[in-house]
Structure formats: C-alpha cells, structure tokens
Amino acid sequence: MPSIKKQTFCGRKFTNEDISLIQNIIATCGGISRRELAHTVCELLEWKRPNGKLKARECIEFLERLDTGEVLKLPEKRKSQRISHKIISETPCRQPSVLSGSVEDFVPLEVQQVRNKEQRDLFKSLVGKHHYLGYAMPFGARLQYLVYVNKPYREVVGCVQFSSPAWRMRARDEWIGWTEERRKIALQQIVNNSRFLVLAPIKNLASVMLSCTLRELKKDWERQYGLEPLLVETLVDRQRFHGGCYRASNWIELGETTGRGRSDKTNTPNKALAKTILVYPLVKNAIQLLKEGGI
C-alpha cells in the first residue's frame, strides 16, 4: 500500500494518525460489513452530525475512496447491501398524471415526507422512471417528499428531494462572502434541492409545490438533523430548463457552476456541463447568519 497521507473529505481533515487508526480497525475487525466498519470509525473519531448521529453514510464514501486509492482494503460488499450509485428504474411504473388545468382547482396540495419502505419504493420508482437524471442515493443528509392532490381523486403529482449542499461553488461562496473557516462551520445550514419532479401538466403546480415543500423542509430538517437550514440552493441544467418555477418563486440567480461534478478528480472545468445556481433564503438575514453566525 502507498504511504499514508493526510486526507480531507466532506469538510473534515483526517490526520495521518486517523488514517492509521482506520487501517488498524479494518485489520482487526475481520468479518464485519462496510456499514459496521463505518459506524466503528465514526464512533472512534467522533464524526457526527450536529444532532449527535454518526455520519456513517459519508464515512462509507470516504472508506471506499481510500480503498480505490489502495490506502486500505475494504471487505467485499455484501449482496444485501444497497447500491449507492445512480439507478434508473426498469420495473413497470405508473405514467405521469393526465390531470390538467390550473393549480387553483387542486389546492390544497398534500405534502408527505418519505418515511417508510412503501413510500421510498414509490419515490425511487417515479424519480428513476421520469426524472432525466434518474434516481441516485443522495450524498449525506436527505429529506424526500411525495406531493399529492386529493381531488378529483388522490394521486401523486410530484416528487421533491433535499440533500446535503455542494461543498464548494464559487458564485455561492462569493455571494455569501464567508471565510474558508466559516464555510466549514456553517455549510451544513445550506440545503440542496437535488431532485424536483412534476408529474402532472397542471399550470403553476411547480411553483406551489416548491412553496409547500419549503414550508415543511425548515421544521423537518431541524427535527431530523438538529440544525436550522438558512438557505436552499439548486442547480438547473441550462441546456434543458430555464428554471421558471424557481424564478417565479423569487429564487435568486447567482451565476453558473464550472461544470465539475462532486466526484470530479481532474479539476477540469466543462462549460457544456455548467448549471445555473439559484438560491432561496429561508430567513431574512440568511447571508449574515451564514457569514458571521449569531442569532
């Protein structure tokens, strides 16, 4: 194996001693799964969320990166483990709704947080079948919602997902104006709207869906992760969409990404893959709180 080097992942710096400890854990804990290893590493290194829960999912990603770099050797994935990469549903799935008209004819919308297996399977199936990016296991924290209408009958008309923010985006970070140290502290108070799927050709449905899910997001995120979200961001593929529902809902355009993905290792910008960055403050003084902290 190559010599141990310091590593940075998800905003956390791992020292040579940390990496050596992880190697020793793997060497002495034969027979346990990758998930069990991740929980052990998180407990020993006290890698936790603000609400005290272990960052096990991020840890698995980090361990797999070290495995790819031959810094350590992970046990083989167990067949029962879920695959974390993007999946496109190949199972029969309901088609988008044929409901049409104006959203005023269907309000109030019912927003239901995804909590159980039946809801998760439905969410994955709809997004995997009908979203142009398919379904991918979100990186880090996440909340998912199914949006229903209840007249003339109950039907799913949308899927919305919020997850951990992009680690770095120049336009966003310059707009906030925070220092590198402050970014590391406050970054998780930004939430990314990573999937948005409208299933019915109902006029203004998208804007109302955004409004309804954002109202739920603030309290649900704080309850689940112990941290108040201050800002929501999203990335719009400019070659496919204008982002009209976001603009109509007073989201702020900040500029474009460089076209590099979260997992890009070449550090090479690609303008063809650039996306428009839009943000929505959840509180009036969101910038100040992100930049300086305080209440």
Q: What is the DSSP letter of 181?
A: H
Q: Tell me, what's the pLDDT at 90? A: 46
Q: Tell me, what's the pLDDT at 145? A: 98
Q: Tell me, what's the pLDDT at 81? A: 44
Parallel/antiparallel/unpaired status of strands 12-14 and 7-9: antiparallel
DSSP string, 4-41: P--EEETTEEE-HHHHHHHHHHHHH-TT--HHHHHHHH
* Sequence-separated (6 or more) residues with CB below 8 Å from residue 46: none
User: How far is residue 97 from each of residues 3, 61, 103, measured CA to CA in Å?
Assistant: 56, 36, 14
Q: What is the DSSP letter of 70?
A: T
Q: Does domain 101-292 have CATH number 3.40.630.30?
A: yes
Stretches in the chain below the pLDDT threshold 70: 1-5, 30-31, 78-95, 139, 259-272, 294-295
User: How far is residue 17 from each of residues 20, 21, 39, 45, measured CA to CA in Å?
Assistant: 5, 6, 18, 11
Q: Tell me, what's the pLDDT at 268? A: 52
Q: Where are the domains of the chain?
A: 7-68, 101-292
Q: Tell me, what's the pLDDT at 84? A: 45
Q: Tell me, what's the pLDDT at 270? A: 53
Q: Is the whole-model pTM more than 0.85?
A: no
